[in-house]
Structure 1
Amino acid sequence: MAPEPRLARWLQRVEARLEAALPASDESPQGLHRAMRHAVLGGGKRLRPMLVYAAGAATGADESLLDAPAAAVELVHAFSLVHDDLPAMDDDELRRGRPTVHVAFDEATAILAGDALQALGFSVLAEESRAPDALRVAWLATLARATGAAGMCGGQALDMDGTGAALALAELERLHALKTGALIRAAVRLGALAGRADAGTLAALDDYASALGLAFQIRDDLLDIEASSEQLGKTAGKDAAQAKSTYPALLGVDGAKAALARQVARMDAALSGLPGELDPLRALARLAVERSH
């Protein structure tokens, strides 16, 4: 089967699992639950869940085992966006073409919604009865490492510390390897763990995911200066307005595009020696680097 029909099917699966996992909007406390649903069900690329399914397909995982980690990684991603948009962080008013959670509700509700979404992501994994205990523990450890100070939260702290400063390229790469890349790497690993991938396969897929995380961020930086807010679904030009170091700022537009091409080549090389069904992983890499929003 071509990658596109599979991606469409996987998207339906994760949307259904997210809908089932989220509390009903008419269930008390209604305001919190509405905010959680606003954060998660308002669209989005769903790249991270798709990577779970694609890595599972590449390693022969039972597809029914992939719904829980796919939903979990998206719930944690949604939590990070809610908190990232807060006035104390990036102070953004637009996400996925809609008001951010603290604008649509209020700051306190947004903080609580983010906290609740993170907890819900881990609950979805812990309560997946179809997965063996050892797999659930490995999933939980993977997602915890990617979320905390050694991953996404650490990257956000570096981002805040670096605002207004001129970062060296190595510092910028480390920042984004944590803030953006850690959860992308975790998504790939969650799917591969379900497929019982061996150490060599896990290492190759991790290299692919690391390159994808950097490529995704470079493309994000380019879009921030080349696309409109309407195209992006979020405020364009925020990086320059907040004096953030970006790949185009450090390397120039042409240099950033060359860096993007190097990460594409790295992804191709990482997948080249692997057996299994790799077309979905390749398709997701193309979507990430060619996207217009």
Structure 2
Amino acid sequence: MNEEKTITVRRQKIQPDRTKERLYFFLFLTAILLLIVIFSEQICPYDPNVQDTGSALLPPGPGHPAGTDRFGRDMLSRILVGLKTSVTSTLVLVAAITITGSILGLVCGYFGGIIDTIVMRISDICLAFPGLVFAMAIAALLNGGISNAVLALALIGWPKYARIARSQTLTVKNTNYIAASQLAGCSSWQMIWCHILPNIAGSILVTAMLDIGTMMMELAGLSFLGLGAQPPTAELGNMMSGGRSMLQTYPWVVIGPGIAIFLAVVIFNLLGDAVRDYLDPQNASEK
């Protein structure tokens, strides 16, 4: 048994740590995706909103690599623009809930009192309902639209970050260096922004990176149900919704946007995993 353990340990030491290489690779893929999003309108082969009924529902071919939809619009052009709409809305959503939730969690964890009680009870109410169902209800009340869908998901997404930031703040504020900062005359806000936030930012960053794919799927889900982006706006979710009745006869109308969502979500999820592994304390000690 001891010999087997020794061999296992030696193998682990011989195998190089690929955490940094994986992180760089997925950062590279994410950079390519973001470049496509930024320059989507410039690289579109056709105007995504121009209709040509004479070219309706053409299969993928040399003129239209992803085919055309029922109105004769080029699917590749609409997928590129729809990807821009979906990714941009998702990043804005994740940034909003991360910043809002983290600030609330920091304040509640450090100061406590009535503010902590009120914010945590509100978060309990938000977490008491199934997230997507609650977002559907809010989006329906707001009459749909991509901005209203982002707002609906933001209203149910911030409690997770508030709770993470609060729990991390409660742990950090009882450490010796925080007590030393208090004796040195640092104000409460100086300790929050200069000492506590840098020490809890890693957990919040990892959560946000892993949340991008989830939020993109939920945003596409709302659009698929007619509660997000509205036609003729190109968005991957409502593009799939518009072509779902033609899945068996003209499958490229649905498969193209579906593949785009799949690739984007996979890239963001793998990047989140790589960031989590890179920021892991055990890996950090071995760098």
> Same-fold call, TM > 0.5?
no
- The two structures have a TM-score, normalised by structure 2, of 0.30
Q: Which has the larger radius of gyration?
A: 2
- The two structures have a TM-score, normalised by structure 1, of 0.30
